[in-house]
Amino acid sequence: MDNLLGRLAALCLGGVLSCSVGEDIGESGEKDIQSPTANYVLNGTVVSEKDTTRRIPGLQVVISHASPHPAADTCFTGENGDFVWNNPITTFGKDLVLSISVTDIDGDENQSYLPYTTTLSFSREEIGEDIAGFLGAGQKELLIRMKEGRE
């Protein structure tokens, strides 16, 4: 019985003394999980390859990345052919490569355009320094020229 009580006491004490990496106790007394994050902003404009003054609305834009954690977001071009992707990502200080796929999903409403895929990179140096878990921010502009046609 004494051996059992000793083991239980050791388990309780071990739980109290265990490390909690990446956790802070906030003012409320609750644990706040803090992961290093950076904010990435991509301002895009989609135009016709034939006439670059023609901005294309109603296109689906899928922005994804494989590392550090696979994820994808979907947005759509507005009436002026613009889209904005603004996303904080837990990067752990690594470079980020975005895959951007644009697809015409509205049929013939805005003519027909072939799918387009490209990549865009944010290097660690472009987003700033690690300050208390915030890795900074980066912003890029992207002009996409879509070819007319159907698959």
Q: Using one digit for the tens of pLDDT, what is the confidence trace for 53-109?
A: 999 999 999 999 877 678 899 999 999 999 999 987 776 667 788 999 999 987 777
141 pLDDT more than 60: yes
Burial class (CB in 10 A: 0-12, 13-18, 19+), 57: middle
Average pLDDT over residues 143-150: 92
pTM score: 0.70
pLDDT digits (tens, 9 = 90+) for 13-67: 333 332 222 333 345 455 455 567 778 889 999 999 999 999 999 999 999 987 7
**Looking at beta carbons, which pairs linking 105-109 to residues 24 or more positions away fall under 8 Å?**
105/58, 105/59, 105/60, 106/58, 106/59, 109/58
Take residue 136 and report the two structure tokens written for it.
């900074």
Question: Where are the chain's structural domains?
Answer: 2-31, 34-146
**Can you say how many angstroms the Cα of residue 61 is from the centroid of all Cα atoms in its chain?**
13
Whether the bond between 68 and the residue before it is cis, its omega within 30 degrees of 0, is yes
User: Can you tell me the distance from the alpha carbon of 49 to that of 21, in angstroms, rounded to the nearest whole number?
Assistant: 51
8 pLDDT more than 70: no
User: What would be the CATH architecture of the domain defined by 34-146?
Assistant: Sandwich (2.60)
Quick one: pLDDT band at residue 10, thresholds 50, 70, 90? very low
9 pLDDT more than 50: no
